[in-house]
Structure 1
């Protein structure tokens, strides 16, 4: 059965390769990026490679939260239901450390944008049969500071990245509790995969990008994972494929999760 799939940050890296893999299966796949030219190019490339004309484009700069809200409206207008949402878009190294609102760029793109997008289209996701949300976490997870979250304090790129990924994981677990009919899984696709992000940040890679692509694809589509909502999959804990493992301890702290969501909603309301 063909599904409707949205993959954020899918004009290169594991997002693009996952979009290609899903398009080959005949699904309706939305490719997302911040450049209209690049999105159009990748959509055409995947259409030609898969002979699937049902590959569409979405354009929004995730550092601009209003653009994310606008994207929500577009998605809801174009789709009666969404089967799979893969929150893959992410940033580590950036020429600017903050967005125009003074929020950390990594917190914004890696956590706040998927939070807005997912909650905005949640009613559409819930209309699908057996929907799934796959959130791209990381082996890098660090305690979330309110000062960093609200843009009051700046820390290193790596630290704010790790905070953003723990925030995403904490919220993933909460979402799984609140929406038992949606399979929500957080995943570390693998450390230092051969992607633009890893090579720009560290100048090296440990594993091929396909390692991450394969687990994202499996988590999103395989019947084997339909009862694994609210878990964290660590693709570093095994070869060639990882396993479900504990996330950072704060991801299981109910009080800290509640506090995170309260602060997040205050940021987005201001």
Structure 2
């Protein structure tokens, strides 16, 4: 297991060693992932951060807060309800239209339960999120 001091030193080195890193944060609108996103913005040098979330209002507030923490960064919301697999595909396609590569991926959407439902359009895979 890596000790806390090593993690803190590595995080502190982000600002001086890596510039313009492209990252994608899924499920980072609250909890541990949100705090990880906040610290990443604080420690990074000109990051380009994509944030996937369900709420336009919550995404807008997070982006305003991140811009205050690190105004040299770029913060891009991707509004998506990822509990439906088709929405996951759409969010991925939106990211791929904008970027050619990804340096960092953090996925913390909560507990996932995959099931199939029969609706008017036929069977569809769903993911139930538990927080």
Relative to its length, the structure with more helix (as a share) is: 1
What is the distance in 2 between the residues matched to 1:12 and 1:32? 12
- Cα deviation per residue 1:18-40 (whole Å; 9 max; x = unaligned)? 11111121222222211122111
What is the distance in 1 between the residues matched to 2:64 and 2:126? 34
Larger radius of gyration: 1
Relative to its length, the structure with more strand (as a share) is: 2
Give the alignment partner of residue 8 of structure 1, picking from 23, 26, 43: 26
Give the 3 Å change call, closer, same or farther, for CA 102–64 of structure 1 in structure 2.
closer
Give the alignment partner of residue 54 of structure 1, picking from 74, 81, 89: 74
Using structure 2 for the length normalisation, give the TM-score: 0.67
Question: Relative contact order (alpha carbons < 8 A, sep ≥ 6): 1 or 2 greater?
Answer: 2
Q: Which runs of 5+ in 1 are unaligned?
A: 107-160, 162-196, 198-270
Give the 3 Å change call, closer, same or farther, for CA 87–43 of structure 1 in structure 2.
same
Q: CA RMSD in A?
A: 2.4
* 8 A contact 1:16–1:31 mirrored in 2: no
- Cα deviation per residue 1:182-201 (whole Å; 9 max; x = unaligned)? xxxxxxxxxxxxxxx4xxxx
Aligned residue number for residue 17 of structure 1 = 35
Pairwise CA distance, 1:49: 2.1
Using structure 1 for the length normalisation, give the TM-score: 0.35
- Cα deviation per residue 1:132-162 (whole Å; 9 max; x = unaligned)? xxxxxxxxxxxxxxxxxxxxxxxxxxxxx7x
Aligned residue number for residue 37 of structure 1 = 57
Aligned residue number for residue 64 of structure 1 = 84
Pairwise CA distance, 1:45: 1.2
Aligned residue number for residue 104 of structure 2 = 84
Matched pairs, number: 104
